[in-house]
Amino acid sequence: MELSDRVNSIKPSTTLGVAARVKELKAQGVDVIGFGAGEPDFTTPENIIETAIEALREGKTHYAPVPGELNARAAIARKLKNENGIACSASDIVISTGAKQSIYLALQCLLDPGKGQEVIVPTPAWVSYFPMVSLAGGTVIEVPGAVDNDFRMTPEQLEQAITPRTRAMIINNPSNPCGTMYPPDEMRALGEVLAKHERITIISDEIYEKLVYGDCAPFSLGAMDSLAGRVITINGMSKAYAMTGWRIGYACSPAPDGDESPMAKAMAKLQSQMTSCITSFCYRAIIEALENSADAVESMRETFAKRGALMHGLLSAMPGLVCPKPTGAFYVFPDISAHFGKVSPEGRKIDSALTFAEALLEEAKVAVVPGNDFGEAGKNHVRLSFACSDENITEGCKRMGEWLRTLS
């Protein structure tokens, strides 16, 4: 069977690939420590699970409206208004099968092939943005971040990256894979630059907003009046509520002055031809998560904070690693390039993040994600997730440190 050029042009997700490889090795009985998975290791809080079971028992087994049940969309709008300062209403919200689908739909509704449209992405950035932009016909313009600045894009860098072809920007705060975040004043300064360029739409991926370890909450660009009508705020249940397998995400794209949102309408139209709605007994669980689960979220956040500090301390003590302190999400993204040019005990040549990650897995049985697919700025790095137990972190880092010391 002949496949389309479109699908042949992309790679499968590296992050999901590493997680799948770890599962496969474990099933074969290999004692592997996985730092690949980008998902909480906790089970969804009990009250959320019970709510979905009740909804199922009560017969929530039919198709729902395409953008989602109105009460769930209203709860999301309330959350965005109260917590993020975004002026919006239920009709601006489209609920989709994960934030991944929300971003995909948004890009499909924004871009056209053959028009030379550019999408600015500060990198290192989540692997899936790149194929999603290219599948929609756009070109990613990377703005590379520096490790000594926690990988944050400056307003000057942003200004320089903007051209007459810029159609959109995707910003992810806190960041996967960097594990760092923008202080609110820096995010506002980026917003000021964007305010001057009216044709640019901003996709603000805030999926890790609850997982922050510093003293400030992330600032939502959707709260800036000067950007009204141009921000699509993306979030979902996966990370904050340990609900990755439920597949629930949402996009909020209010029009200025409370008018009907053309973007929400367009995304729902596209979704109506793709997946219809999400699993219909989940809508009530969204409300339960948003309105009755703050304690569970906080307890998971505290655990992640401790694990992040543990992993960062262990990595920082290893030879040749440069590693910003995690301030958000559940990743660390050390620069490992000091080891390029070396040879492993089993004779593997380490000349890239890819060969580093392969050798580390084969020889020390520790799985990390090579930085190459997080953009050009990620090529000297590997990503480690600390969404796993203290024992795993301690044992995996011990193996990694010992292995690093054997490279010559």
- The residues binding ligand PMP (CB under 6 A) are 38, 98-100, 126, 172, 176, 205, 207, 236, 238, 244, 249
CA 392, 397, 402, 407 torsion: positive or negative? positive
**Minimum CB–partner distance for residue 18 and ligand GLU (Å):** 8
Is 16 a binder of ligand GLU (CB under 6 A)? yes
Which of ligand GLU, ligand PMP, none has residue 13 at its interface (CB below 5 to 8 Å by kind)? ligand GLU
**Minimum CB–partner distance for residue 63 and ligand GLU (Å):** 26
**Minimum CB–partner distance for residue 90 and ligand GLU (Å):** 27
Annotate the chain with three-state secondary structure.
Answer: CCCCHHHHCCCCCHHHHHHHHHHHHHHCCCCCEECCCCCCCCCCCHHHHHHHHHHHHCCCCCCCCCCCCHHHHHHHHHHHHHHHCCCCCHHHEEEECCHHHHHHHHHHHHCCCCCCCEEEEEECCCCCHHHHHHHCCCEEEEEECCHHHCCCCCHHHHHHHCCCCEEEEEEECCCCCCCCCCCHHHHHHHHHHHHCCCCCEEEEECCCCCCECCCCCCCCHHHCHHHCCCEEEEEECCCCCCCHHHCCEEEECCCHHHCCCHHHHHHHHHHHCCCCCCCHHHHHHHHHHHHHCHHHHHHHHHHHHHHHHHHHHHHHCCCCCECCCCCECCEECCECHHHCCEECCCCCEECCHHHHHHHHHHHHCEECEEHHHHCHHHCCEEEEECCCCHHHHHHHHHHHHHHHHHCC
Which of ligand GLU, ligand PMP, none has residue 249 at its interface (CB below 5 to 8 Å by kind)? ligand PMP
In the complex with ligand GLU, the residue whose CB is nearer, 287 or 329, is: 329
In the complex with ligand GLU, the residue whose CB is nearer, 16 or 343, is: 16
Is 38 a binder of ligand GLU (CB under 6 A)? yes
Size of the site for ligand GLU (CB under 6 A): 9
**Minimum CB–partner distance for residue 244 and ligand PMP (Å):** 5
Query: Which of 102, 117, 172, 176 forms a contact with ligand GLU (CB under 6 A)?
Result: 176
Residue nearest to ligand PMP (CB): 98
**Minimum CB–partner distance for residue 206 and ligand PMP (Å):** 9
**Minimum CB–partner distance for residue 98 and ligand PMP (Å):** 3
Which of ligand PMP, ligand GLU, none has residue 236 at its interface (CB below 5 to 8 Å by kind)? ligand PMP
Is 128 a binder of ligand GLU (CB under 6 A)? yes
Is 15 a binder of ligand GLU (CB under 6 A)? yes
**Minimum CB–partner distance for residue 339 and ligand PMP (Å):** 26
Is 173 a binder of ligand GLU (CB under 6 A)? no
Which of ligand GLU, ligand PMP, none has residue 16 at its interface (CB below 5 to 8 Å by kind)? ligand GLU
Residues that bind ligand GLU (CB under 6 A): 13, 15-16, 38-39, 100, 126, 128, 176
